[in-house]
Amino acid sequence: MKNLLIPLAACILLSCAAKEPALKTAFDGKFILGAAVNTVQITGADVKGDSVLLRHFGAVEPENCMKSAEIMPVFGQYNWDMADKYVDFGTRNGLLVYGHCLIWHSQLTPDFCYDKEGNLISPEELKARMKQHITTVVSRYKGRIKGWDVVNEAILDNGEWRPSPFYQILGEEFIPWAFQCAHEADPDCELYYNDYSMHIPAKLETAIKLAKTLQERGIRIDALGFQGHIGMDYPNLDLYERHIRRVKDETGLDVCITELDMSILPTVTMSADIAEMSRVERQAFFNPYENGVPEDVNAAWNARMGDVLDMFLRNADAVRRINVWGVSDDDSWKNGWPIPGRKDYPLWFDRSFNMKPFLSKYINGTK
Ligand code: G3I
């Protein structure tokens, strides 16, 4: 009986929400609109979140359940449960299902790159393990995943390669190898390189060079993922726009905005004056909106997010997909990062699942 109640509740909520035009149709012909989902949404326990998701978004990304440490806690030993539920959830609801992420230095299976003595494995062994993992995961969902973040965050802000275990063992060759393995496992699947802070020129340069290297070697890459974890004071939107254009003009590739959220909180830069603050002052500085956001601050957030979306719309020829990194504010990883206990308001739906004001002009056709 309980299992029947969840779909019933979702139907009731969906019918209430049905009066509000759907966001995804507002952007039809512009770009695909998606959202990251967590385990509560995947399992249907977040009835309100799912009703917003299914009403307004046409695509999904897995916030955590397909990362190597989550899907393969020990190398070669898979726990498919949540990943299967995620793909079934997306497929069952007629959504475009994306995969995130095959090779990443974080949330990495602890023994992926190490032997039993804890030493880095050989290049040959790492290539074999990467092929085994990528082939196992990608072929399991062959034909059901529209695109994969094949490699995530391999470039540092200064444009150098991140000294991850993958890089330490194989150098930058681990990246083409990952893309080749993914393509062989599902030749029709779109493949992306994904990273944050792509507004930083040095980082973008390396990403563009990477894309060109793959293209020159005849290795499939379909788009660059700009994660889009932004703030009220970064990035400069003209610069961000120029970078989107550069990717399109210099590589022919589209950009996917893969993890969009915009923190309303002050950007954390540890400086001397913070060190002088009392605990109470520091709490107030770092977590100013625990009990709600002042009207003027909310208005500024909505104005800037509207400018961001308008910029993406101006460049819809180059922006293939926008994926927000969560459904409603309560879902966001930004609650508690980089400082535990913060309350942030970074997504497109608030904690009561109301659409934020900046979106109204798009669904009322006034944009
Ligand atoms: O699964 C464990 C659970 O068993 C345990 O009880 C709980 C207690 O801490 O932790 C759970 O793991 C958490 C995991 O999310 C799943 O919820 C980790 O602690 C937590 O650190 C992890 O955070 C994720 C973060 O990546 C890790 O770097 C965020 O949810 C996720 O939004 C975030 O997403 C990344 C993208 O994948 C890549 N781009 C950056 C973005 C933000 O870091």
- Give how many domains the chain has, as a whole number: 1
User: Nearest-CA neighbor of 103 among 59, 140, 137?
Assistant: 137
* % of the chain with per-residue pLDDT over 90: 85
Label the pairing between strands 59-62 and 223-226: unpaired
Categorize the per-residue pLDDT at 277 as very low, low, confident or very high, splitting at 50, 70 and 90: confident
Average pLDDT value for residue range 254-266: 97
If you take atom 42 of ligand 1, which residue's CA is the nearest one? 333
Q: Are 258 and 227 in contact (CB under 8 A)?
A: yes
Write out pLDDT tens, residues 2-26: 455 555 555 555 544 456 689 999 9
pLDDT at 262: 98
Atom of ligand 1 nearest to the CA of 333: 32
Residue to mutate (ligand 1; options 38, 41, 63; most atoms within 8 A of CB): 63
Q: Is the per-residue pLDDT at 316 higher than 60?
A: yes
Write out pLDDT tens, residues 154-189: 999 999 999 999 999 999 999 999 999 999 999 999
Active-site residue flag, 61: no
Q: Given 153, 190, 205, 216, which residue is catalytic? A: 153
Categorize the per-residue pLDDT at 124 as very low, low, confident or very high, splitting at 50, 70 and 90: very high
Active-site residue flag, 70: no
Q: Is the per-residue pLDDT at 42 higher than 90?
A: yes
pLDDT at 10: 52
- Tell me how far apart the terminal alpha carbons of the chain are, to the nearest angstrom: 45
pLDDT at 281: 81
* % of the chain with per-residue pLDDT over 70: 92
Write out pLDDT tens, residues 181-209: 999 999 999 999 999 999 999 999 999 99
* Full DSSP string of 285-332: HHSTTTT---HHHHHHHHHHHHHHHHHHHHTTTTEEEEEES-SBGGG-
Write out pLDDT tens, residues 241-253: 999 999 999 999 9
List strand residue ranges (DSSP E) for the chain, in order: 32-37, 59-62, 96-104, 147-152, 190-195, 223-226, 229-230, 254-262, 319-324
Q: What are phi and psi of 97, to 5 degrees?
A: -110, 125
pLDDT at 275: 72
Ligand 1 centroid – CA 240 distance (Å): 27
Q: Is the per-residue pLDDT at 364 higher than 90?
A: no
Cβ of 39 below 6 Å from ligand 1? no
| Diameter over CA atoms, the chain | 63
Average pLDDT value for residue range 91-114: 98
Atom of ligand 1 nearest to the CA of 325: 32
Report d(CA 193, CA 216) in Å as an integer.
Answer: 16
pLDDT at 8: 53
pLDDT at 7: 53
Cβ of 107 below 6 Å from ligand 1? yes
Ligand 1 centroid – CA 364 distance (Å): 36
Range of the domain at 90: 2-363
Q: 68 is written with which tokens?
A: 């190597």
Atom of ligand 1 nearest to the CA of 36: 32
Q: Is the per-residue pLDDT at 221 higher than 90?
A: yes
Cβ of 259 below 6 Å from ligand 1? yes
CATH number of 24's domain: 3.20.20.80
pLDDT at 339: 78
